[in-house]
Structures are given as structure tokens and as C-alpha cells.
Structure 1
């Protein structure tokens, strides 16, 4: 078993101008990616560590990082991690990379109030299972998370993610999203969203998919890898407002029992000059003198 220890760190350092304790204390960046590491040992002597690269290893459990109160970036993608745990002490963490592990539930991030990026793409899950999110974790991240990557996780519902009000980038390609109305409703609650990628989802095949998403996400600058021009956005926003207005009028007409064809309404309510008739124009009814 390969363990990440302070001795291993010391051996990897080609030149040390200070004693080992001093060297470890000054260490801010540590890269032990692709080293067949299975376990993280006590690294508390590295108390000023800010960036830790441990991707492409054999790690099964995140542990022994409680000392790293200054850590801002943690890269543990492509390991064998099944649970997100033991990272509540990482109060300054802003970027967390967990992609290509075996995590079924995103949880345990309630104390990470400065987390801005969460990458959890491509989890290796049993057939039929999908990546889930703990409600408390989502609420805790609502005011900080800007970038969320959940590509390739068999996800078919994103309604719980609507609370993430600060999202600017959302990547959910190659999932099972299919409900266009649900997508519109959720994206409408992300006022800062600038970039979104949903390629490979069934919803992309829906009629007017791109038009309706752009119209509903007024700050969106790129959708599925294609930029959105300001002219296109404004046109689609106006089109969407018109569409909603027509739907509202139709719904109100049904509720009040009014016909959807006002031209057949009774216009003989009250006195009318004998020499006048009603003429239908594009602007409504106007009197026409005979």
C-alpha cells in the first residue's frame, strides 16, 4: 500500500534549503497525482498547504485533512472514493474536484461556505443509479457556488438545484434530462447563469428547445458550446414574453368562460346609430359610416 506521508514528501523534494519541519511548514502546493496512492497519512506539518493534487490515484477515503484550514483547491478526481467526508474543516476551500469516483450522494459540504466550484462529473455508479444531492448541502451552497459540473451522471431531474442562485456555469451534458418546462422553470431561478451545456440529453431534441432556454435565461451567453448574440437573445426574450402573454389571455378566457374568438361577441348591447356598422380591422373594431 502506498501512503502519502511527510517522509514521502521529503523524498520527492529535490532540493531543501531548510530543515524538514521548516520545509513542510512553508509548503503551499503539493502534487502527488498518479502515484498509486491509496491512503492519506498525517500531513499536519504542512499547515500552510493551499493546493493539493491527488487525482489519478487509488484513494478510497478522504481523511487526515482537518489540519488544512488554508486549503483552497482540492483535486481528488479519478480515485475510488465513495463518500464525501472529513472535509468540513476546510473552511477556505473554493474549488473541489471529485469527478470520476464512485460517489452516489453529494453531501457533507455544509461547512464549506466559500466553495465556488464543484466538479462531480462521471461518477462510476451501478446501472440505473444516478447522482443525488442532499437538500442541506444544496441550501448551504446556495449563496456561494458558481460552477457546477455534473456531466455523465444519469441525472433526470434538476429541480432541487434551483436553490443555487449564484450559478454562472452549469454543465450537465450526457444525462437523462427530458422535461423542457422543468428546465425553463429551474433556469429562470438562476439570474447570473452565463454558460450552460446540456448536450446529449433528450431535452435538446424538444421543439424550440434552444429558443425557450435562451428566452428564459436572460443572462445566458453560451448554450451547448454555441455563443448567443445579443440580437438573438433580445428577439427571443420578446418572443417569449409575447408567448406568455397569449397563454395568459387564453387561460383567463377559459376561467371566465369567454370564447377564444372575440369577433363573434354580441355587439348589439346598447343603442347604435342606424347608419353605423362594426368593421373588424387589425386593431380591433371601429365604427364604419354607411
Structure 2
């Protein structure tokens, strides 16, 4: 287990060249020269008084030895005191150096927990990504911290963040956070994408946590968290960028309602959600969003396209209102309506003729004839006219109609898919 404390911080952040120089500058310990051996005259005096001189020499040697031991002891004490003074000065200098560090580069260090970061009170940015952290603790001394990078750890809860009043940017992507909670006041960016949650679980947005940053949060990234709704996002009054791709958003009306509440939204990303397959997905979101939306799913939202959609929607609404205000259609014709003879090509069967209309005489209404049928009638009339001119005789209209009905009645019924009653 690797913790963050003053020793590890100095080992990772300290100036190694300064450390080497300091060690080399330390004064070497004092060396005490051994006493010189007594001279031969002292050890081997003359015959007269030889024993007395020998005793004096031994006593002198003992005095010298005791003096040497006292000097050695005093030297060791002085050396120890000097080392302690140097160590204290070195510690103070080390703390002074760490107190001026503004960027804590602690990524990929195998860190499992945070013990003490009080020696770095001036830190503005902390890089703690790609470690083995399981929880956030002991961050209170970092009162000036503005950016905290925690990607790819094993964090399960967002705790202790309210102790960071200056925090503006929080990146916790690739962890195991299940609930967004405990956000500090003043947070501007929250990146919490791609959480490694158990199968079937989705990231939950705590409305109380978002309410604490509703006036300051500008960017929210919740991509890849299997989310099914974004209701609490509507609390963020000043949100400008929303990234919610690769989730499980399915309801277009819900998404449109959320975007309608974000008055300052400029960019929105929802790619990878089932709702994007709706045929009116993009027009509906553009119409529901505020005019400040400039980019939707990586595509620009121009003022021309917005105006076109607004006018089209206004026209459709007007047509719908007109249709609703239109009086009901008249009832269908009564059963006593006289149907025209089926063999009359010029009579439209879709327009029944009433008895009052038949009283003034036969009424022929040009029906929706197909082009081949019209050409057939025209060609036969022209042939009959030429035949009458050659014979010098004129045929009556009744006989012409009768001849036509006899010759072409069957072909007409076949072309219209009908069978006369007498042939059924």
C-alpha cells in the first residue's frame, strides 16, 4: 500500500539535485588523532629510580587515555547536535519547497490512500489519475485546489469534496461512482463519464447535489452510464455543454422538456441513444431548445435551419387548427338516390344522382377516366364520323350510344374490374 505523505511527496516532487548538493555540503565528522606512544626514556629510564619512572609512565598513559575518551565523547555529542541541526534545517527547507508547489504530479504512482497533503497548501492542480484510490479523504488542507483529476481509479463515492471551496473542475471518469452527490459550491465542470458499474445499474443524479451547483456548473459529461432519464439536469440554469451520449435515453418528449429548461445551452450530444432513431428527433430538439443552441450531436444548428423549422411547425399548427375548426362533413347520401346505369362511361359512380336531378333529364358527369379509355372513345367516334361521311348518312345519337355500348361494354368493364349483373 502506497500513501501520500511528506516523505513520498518529497521523493516524487522534490529536487534531487538539491538533495545531493545538500548531502555533499555536510561537514565531515571530526577525527581525533590517537595519542602518541610514550618515549623510550619514559618507558626505559636509567637504573636509578627505574621503578618510580615506570609507575609515572603508566599513570600518564592512563590520564591520556581518559582524556581521549572524554574528548571523543564530547566530539560525538557535538557531531550529533550538528547533525540534528542540519536535519532540522533540511526539513524546514524541504517543507518550504513543498509549500510552494502548485501542481501535484502524482499520476501512475500506485497510490492507494491519502495520508497527509498539508505540506502542499498552495497546490492548485492535483493529478491523481491512473492509481488505486478507493475513497477520497484528508483533502481539507488543499483549500486552494481548483482542478482535481481522478480518472481510472476505484472510487465508489464522492465524499470530502465540500471541503474544497476553490474546486472548479472535477474529473472522475472511469471509476465506480453510482450516485452524483456531495458536490462543492462553485464547481464549473463535472466529468463523470464511463463509470464501471455492475450490470444493470445506471448512474443516478442527486437533485440536491445538482441544486448546489445550479448557478455555477457550465459543463456536464455523463456519457456511457446507462442512464434512462435526465430530469435533474433541468435544474442547471447556466449549463452550456451537455454530453449524454451512449446512454439508454428513449423518450423524445422527456428529452425535449429537459432541453427546453436549459436557457444557456450551447452544445448537446446524445449520439448512441435509442431516441436518436426517431424520425423527428433533430427537428423536435431544435424546436424545443433555446435559441442559444449552436451544436447538436456535432452538427451546427444554424439560424436558417431553425427559422425554417419554426415556420414549418407554425404552418402545421395552423393547418391542424383549421381542420379542427372545420364543420363536420354532411351525412352520406340516402338510399333512395338513383344510381346511373353502369354502362355509361361518362357517368361517375362516385357521385350518385338524386331523383330531383333526374327529373330535368339525364345528367352525365365526366368521371375520372384513364387515358386509354379516353383514347378508345375518341378513336371510335372519329372512325364513325368518317364512315358516316362516306356513306352520306347520319346516325342518331341514341343509336351511336347503343352501338358503342354493344361493342365496347365488355372491354370497359374488364378495364374497370367490374362484371355486369347479367353476366355474373
Distance in 1 (CA, whole Å) between partners of 2:318 and 2:243 is 31
Distance in 2 (CA, whole Å) between partners of 1:244 and 1:113 is 44
Residue among 113, 116, 128 paired with 2:188 = 116
Q: Deviations over 1:65-120 (max 9, x none)?
A: 011111110011110000100111111111001111001001111xx221010010
Shift of 1:230: 2.4
Distance in 2 (CA, whole Å) between partners of 1:246 and 1:78 is 55
Residue among 289, 294, 299 paired with 1:221 = 294
Distance in 1 (CA, whole Å) between partners of 2:317 and 2:239 is 25
Structure 2: which 5+ residue stretches go unaligned?
19-91, 331-424
Q: Secondary structure at the match of 1:188?
A: helix
Q: Does 1:105 align with 2:179?
A: yes
Residue among 61, 84, 102 paired with 2:135 = 61
Distance in 2 (CA, whole Å) between partners of 1:213 and 1:96 is 29
Distance in 1 (CA, whole Å) between partners of 2:196 and 2:94 is 39
1:79 to 1:244, Cα distance in 2 relative to 1, 3 A: farther
Q: Secondary structure at the match of 2:324?
A: coil
| Match in the other structure for 1:20 | 94
Shift of 1:41: 1.5
Q: Does 1:260 align with 2:324?
A: yes
Distance in 1 (CA, whole Å) between partners of 2:117 and 2:248 is 41
| Match in the other structure for 1:163 | 235
Q: Does 1:71 align with 2:145?
A: yes
Residue among 148, 161, 168 paired with 1:87 = 161
- The structure in which a higher percent of residues are helix is 2
Q: Secondary structure at the match of 1:170?
A: strand
- Taking structure 2 as the reference length, the TM-score comes to 0.57
Shift of 1:138: 1.4
CA contact (8 A) 1:100 1:123 kept: yes
Pairwise CA RMSD of aligned residues? Answer: 2.1
| Match in the other structure for 1:134 | 206
Residue among 172, 177, 200 paired with 2:244 = 172
User: How many equivalent residue pairs?
Assistant: 255
Shift of 1:243: 4.8
1:190 to 1:16, Cα distance in 2 relative to 1, 3 A: farther
Residue among 195, 202, 205 paired with 2:267 = 195
- The structure in which a higher percent of residues are strand is 1
Shift of 1:130: 0.5
CA contact (8 A) 1:214 1:237 kept: no
Shift of 1:238: 3.4
Structure 1: which 5+ residue stretches go unaligned?
251-258, 267-290
Q: Deviations over 1:153-212 (max 9, x none)?
A: 000011121111111000001000010011111100001111111000001001111111
Distance in 1 (CA, whole Å) between partners of 2:230 and 2:201 is 15
Query: Based on CA coordinates, which of the two structures has the bigger radius of gyration?
Result: 2
- Taking structure 1 as the reference length, the TM-score comes to 0.82
Residue among 307, 315, 331 paired with 1:234 = 307
